[in-house]
C-alpha cells in the first residue's frame, strides 16, 4: 500500500468521523469546530487529487472565513447552551431515517448499474495553478463577472437585512 | 488496492448523506446551514475527483464558483438568522411558524 493510499484512508475516515460529530454534537460551538476539521480533511483529499490551489482556497475561504462567520454568529446569539436535539422530535428522526434510506438506496442502485474501469487512466489531470485559473480569464469570464455581481448583491443584502430600523 | 474514482465518490456520497442528516434531524438554524455547507463540500469533492480522473480543468473551475457562491450563501443565511433571532429570540426552526396557515 502506497503512501497516497494510506493518506486517503486516513483522510476519509477522519472526514467521516468529523462529519458524524457535526451531526451528533449537542453543542453548536463544538459542531462548528468539527466542521472546520471536515473542511481541513477535505483539503487533504484535494491535495491527494493534485488540486493544490483548491486545497489552499478551501482552507482559506471555508475553514477560515466562513467558519469564523459561523462562530461569530453563534457567539453573537449566545447559543452556547447544549441542546438536547434527540429528545422530542421523533417525527423528524423518523423522516430523516426514511430519507436517508431512500438516498442510500438510490446511491446503491446507481453504483450497481455503473461499470467502473478496472485501471485508472494512464495520464491524470494535474491541477496546477495555470491550468485551473486560465479558463477564468478566457472561457469562464462571463460567469466570473456574474459571480462578482452576485457577491455585490449579497453584500448589500446582508447590510440591509441586519440593519436595525430606527423608529422615531 | 488502487484508490480510484469510485473511492472518492463513495466518500463524497457519505459526506453528502451526513449533511442531509444534519439538515433533516437538527432543529437549529445554524446547524442546518452547517449541513448545507457539508453538502456543498461533498459536491465539490466529487467535482474535483471527476476533474482528476476525467483529465480536465472544468471540475476545478466549477468548484471555484461553488466556493464563491457558498461564501455568499453563508453570509446571507447568517444575516437572515440574525434578523430572525432579533424578532423571535429563538433559532429553533419549529418556532418559525408564522407562514403556516
Structural domain count, chain A: 1
How far is the C-alpha of A53 from the C-alpha of A44, rounded, in Å? 12
User: Could you give the C-alpha distances from A155 to A113, A152, A159, B44, in angstroms and in order?
Assistant: 44, 5, 6, 24
Interface of A with B in 113-152 (CB under 8 A): 116-117, 119-121, 123-125, 127, 131-132, 134-136, 140, 143, 147, 150-151
If you average pLDDT over every residue of chain A, what do you get? 85
A119 belongs to a structural domain:
no
Q: Is residue A23 part of a domain?
A: yes
pTM here?
A: 0.88
Q: Kindly state whether residue A151 falls inside one of the protein's structural domains.
A: yes
Mean pLDDT over the full length of chain B:
86
The per-residue pLDDT for range B34-67, each reduced to its tens digit, is 999 999 999 999 999 888 887 778 888 999 999 9
> Per DSSP, what are the bridge partners of residue B28?
B92
Asked if residue A84 has pLDDT above 80, the reply is no
pLDDT of A168 reads 60
Give percent of chain A above pLDDT 90.
Answer: 35
Q: Is residue A90 part of a domain?
A: no
User: A24-42 pLDDT, tens per residue?
Assistant: 888 888 999 999 999 999 9
- Measured between beta carbons, the chain B residues lying within 8 angstroms of A77 are 30, 81-82, 85, 91
**DSSP β-bridge partners for residue B92:** B28
**B84 touching A (Cβ < 8 Å):** no
| Long-range CB pairs of B81-89, under 8 A, 24+ apart, other chains included | B81/A73, B81/A77, B81/B29, B81/B30, B81/B33, B82/A73, B82/A76, B82/A77, B82/A161, B82/A162, B83/A161, B83/A162, B84/B29, B85/A77
Query: How confident is residue A80, by pLDDT bands cut at 50, 70 and 90?
Result: low
Three-class HEC string of chain A:
CCHHHHHHHHHHHHHHHHHHHHHHCCCHHHHHHHHHHHHHHHHHHHHHCCCHHHHHHHHHHHHHHHHHHHHHHHHHCCCCCCCCCCCCCHHHHHHHHHHHHHHHHHHHHHHHHCCCCCCCCCCCCCCCHHHHHHHHHCCCHHHHHHHHHHHHHHHHHHHHHHCCCCCC
What pLDDT, on a 0 to 100 scale, did the predictor assign at position B62? 92
Chain A residues near residue B45 by CB distance under 8 angstroms: 42, 45-46
Q: Cα A26–A161–B82 angle (5° rounding)? A: 20
Evaluate whether residue A131 is within a structural domain: yes
pLDDT over 80 (residue A164): no
Query: Does B72 reach chain A within 8 Å, measured CB to CB?
Result: yes
Domain that holds residue A46: 3-84+125-162
The CATH number assigned to the domain holding A36 equals 1.20.120.1200
Structurally, what CATH architecture does the domain formed by B5-90 represent? Orthogonal Bundle (1.10)
Structural domain includes residue A108 = no
Q: Examine residue A117 and state whether it is found in any structural domain, yes or no.
A: no
pLDDT given for residue B35 in this prediction: 93
Q: Is the pLDDT of residue B1 over 90?
A: no
Amino acid at each position: 500500500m502506497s503512501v497516497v493510499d494510506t493518506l486517503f484512508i486516513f483522510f476519509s475516515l477522519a472526514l467521516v468521523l468529523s462529519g458524524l460529530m457535526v451531526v451528533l454534537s449537542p453543542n453548536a460551538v463544538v459542531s462548528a469546530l468539527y466542521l472546520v476539521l471536515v473542511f481541513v480533511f477535505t483539503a487533504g483529499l484535494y491535495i491527494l487529487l493534485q488540486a493544490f490551489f483548491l486545497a489552499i482556497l478551501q482552507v482559506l475561504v471555508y475553514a477560515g472565513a466562513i467558519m469564523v462567520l459561523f462562530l461569530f454568529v453563534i457567539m453573537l446569539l449566545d447559543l452556547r447552551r447544549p441542546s438536547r436535539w434527540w429528545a422530542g422530535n421523533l417525527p423528524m428522526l423518523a423522516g430523516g431515517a426514511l430519507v436517508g434510506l431512500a438516498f442510500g438506496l438510490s446511491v446503491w442502485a446507481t453504483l450497481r448499474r455503473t461499470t467502473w474501469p478496472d485501471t485508472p487512466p494512464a495520464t491524470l489531470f494535474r491541477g496546477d495553478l495555470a491550468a485551473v485559473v486560465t479558463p477564468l480569464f478566457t472561457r469562464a469570464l462571463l460567469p466570473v463577472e456574474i459571480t462578482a455581481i452576485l457577491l455585490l448583491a449579497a453584500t448589500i443584502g446582508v447590510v440591509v437585512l441586519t440593519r436595525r430600523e430606527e423608529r422615531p | 488496492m488502487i484508490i480510484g474514482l469510485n473511492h472518492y465518490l463513495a466518500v463524497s456520497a457519505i459526506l453528502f448523506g451526513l449533511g442531509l442528516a444534519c439538515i433533516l434531524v437538527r432543529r437549529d438554524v445554524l446547524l442546518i446551514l452547517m449541513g448545507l455547507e457539508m453538502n456543498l463540500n461533498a459536491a465539490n469533492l466529487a467535482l474535483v475527483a471527476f476533474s482528476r480522473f476525467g483529465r480536465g480543468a472544468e471540475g476545478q473551475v466549477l468548484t471555484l464558483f461553488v466556493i464563491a457562491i457558498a461564501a455568499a450563501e453563508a453570509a446571507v443565511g447568517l444575516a437572515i438568522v440574525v434578523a430572525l433571532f432579533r424578532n423571535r429570540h429563538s433559532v429553533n426552526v419549529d418556532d418559525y411558524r408564522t407562514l403556516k396557515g
